[in-house]
Amino acid sequence: EVQLVESGGGLVQPGGSLRLSCAASGFTFSSYWIHWVRQAPGKGLVWVSRINGDGTFTDYADSVKGRFTISRDNTQNTLYLQMNSLRAEDTAVYYCARAYGSGSSALKFWGQGALVTVSS
Amino acid sequence: DIVVTQSPDSLAVSLGERATINCKSSRSVLYSSNNNNYLAWYQQKPRQPPKLLIYWASTRESGVPDRFSGSGSGTDFTLTISSLQAEDVAVYYCHQYYTTPYSFGQGTKLEIK
């Protein structure tokens, strides 16, 4: 059974940093693109970032480019999102999601999400 | 960037009736080399992550009831629920994965009339 479990969320002050983790199991982790998608309270889904299977290619939404870094450790089957210079508008539930296949594809499996709250 | 717009924002349908949600992308998501539309539909219930229903615009995900169907090509797409059940109450999102930044529609809230 495919599982994605996010951790590392919490309350952080504006300008602060936080690192989210996404522990994966039930599939060959290194074979799949993994994405981060966020959802502000009561709002819709917003794509944040993606990384390819071996970690050599990354991509970001303009709103987080230069502040967030996606990475992965295929020996630990874990995805990360390092978030720096956090702003109030980054407050959201952050989901990791596994692509259906290789390249551009729909997001087949989702974690339960980690809540990040940026507030003083 | 591709902008994806859904209509309506909310919808109330009687049990057993048809529900139709529309999705329009600001440019084509049809990839000519493989004739695939890079468009998916998700269902999200309160306090749950999204669930993939439809991908490649019209391919139903395994385990999804056949009352859910997707259609359309290029820039205009539709999600149809042929006979609404109580468990279908949710917010529905379309999603283009043709190019990054990936984008989602704003969501359509489906309720029982």
* Whole-number pLDDT of residue A102: 73
Contact B104 A104 (CB under 8 A): no
* Whole-number pLDDT of residue B22: 98
Residues paired with A78 in a beta bridge: A23, A73
Contact A45 B99 (CB under 8 A): no
* Whole-number pLDDT of residue A117: 98
User: pLDDT tier at A9 (50, 70, 90 boundaries)?
Assistant: very high
Contact B55 A50 (CB under 8 A): no
Interface test with A, best of B38, B92, B102, B106 (most A CBs within 10 A): B102
What distance in Å separates the CA atoms of residue B43 and residue B89, rounded to the nearest whole number?
9
Which residues have CB under 8 Å from A92's CB, separation 6+? A38, A39, A40, A41, A43, A46, A115, A116
Q: Over the stretch A17-46, which tens digit does the pLDDT of each residue have? A: 999 999 999 999 999 999 999 999 999 999
By C-alpha distance, the chain A residue nearest B52 is: A108
Q: Over the stretch B68-106, which tens digit does the pLDDT of each residue have? A: 999 999 999 999 999 999 999 999 999 999 999 999 999
* Whole-number pLDDT of residue A104: 80
What distance in Å separates the CA atoms of residue B113 and residue B110, rounded to the nearest whole number?
9
From the CA of B88, how many Å to the nearest CA of chain A? 18
What distance in Å separates the CA atoms of residue A81 and residue A116, rounded to the nearest whole number?
12
Q: Over the stretch B10-66, which tens digit does the pLDDT of each residue have? A: 999 999 999 999 999 999 999 999 999 999 999 999 999 999 999 999 999 999 999
Could you say which of B52, B93, B100 has the minimum Cβ distance to residue A45? B93
From the CA of B97, how many Å to the nearest CA of chain A? 6
What distance in Å separates the CA atoms of residue B45 and residue B43, rounded to the nearest whole number?
7
Virtual CA dihedral for B9, B54, A80, B29, nearest 10 degrees?
-80
* Whole-number pLDDT of residue A97: 98
Residues paired with A18 in a beta bridge: A83
* Whole-number pLDDT of residue A101: 77
Helix (H) or strand (E) holding B45: none
Which residues 52-91 of A are in CB contact (within 8 Å) with B?
59, 61-62
Could you say which of B38, B44, B103 has the minimum Cβ distance to residue A104? B38
Q: Over the stretch A85-104, which tens digit does the pLDDT of each residue have? A: 999 999 999 999 999 877 78
